[in-house]
């Protein structure tokens, strides 16, 4: 299956969320703390095979940049920017009820 592609990524500072609109019209709203907690970089995740949630108090997003045409890089206000969120990964994190329902629990 082809990778999902975000057509719009919108940081809504006042709400502390990142709103992602996907090519197929699906919209996900990601809390900043949630996104930061699932930062996929080696610094945050170590070398374990399973992605874990790392609590980062008061995580604030500073910048969003595109990485090639396959991923998004978030820069946090504490300077942390080593997390590269591939589109697939970002989509798998989608916290909306619809996506949560289809996840294995
Ligand atoms: Zn990280
Ligand atoms: Zn979703």
Residue range 53-89, pLDDT digits in tens: 999 999 999 999 999 999 999 999 999 999 999 999 9
The answer to whether the beta carbons of residues 32 and 16 sit under 8 Å apart is: yes
Per-residue pLDDT at 100: 85
Residue that wins the pLDDT comparison between 56 and 48:
56
Tokens read off for 81:
């920017």
Query: Where does the pLDDT of residue 2 fall: very low under 50, low under 70, confident under 90, or very high at 90 and above?
Result: confident
How many whole angstroms from 66 Cα to the centroid of ligand 1? 16
Per-residue pLDDT at 12: 97
How many whole angstroms from 5 Cα to the centroid of ligand 1? 22
What's the whole-number average pLDDT of the chain?
Answer: 93
Instruction: Count the alpha carbons within 13 Å of 89 in the hemisphere toward its beta carbon.
Output: 15
Any idea where the domains of the chain sit in the sequence?
A: 6-95
CB atoms within 5 A of ion ligand 1 belong to 39, 41, 43-44, 83
* CATH pick for 6-95 out of 3.30.2020.30, 3.40.50.10300, 3.40.50.1820, 3.40.640.10: 3.30.2020.30
């Amino acid at each position: 299956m082809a990778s999902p592609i975000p057509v719009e990524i919108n940081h809504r500072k006042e709400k502390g969320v990142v709103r992602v609109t996907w090519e197929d019209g699906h919209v996900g709203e990601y809390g900043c703390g949630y996104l930061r907690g699932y930062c996929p970089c080696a610094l945050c995740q170590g070398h374990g095979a399973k992605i874990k949630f790392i609590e980062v108090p008061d995580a604030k997003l500073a910048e969003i940049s595109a990485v090639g045409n396959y991923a998004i890089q978030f820069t946090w206000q504490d300077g942390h920017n080593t997390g590269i969120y591939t589109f697939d990964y970002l989509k798998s994190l989608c916290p909306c009820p619809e996506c949560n329902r289809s996840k294995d629990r």
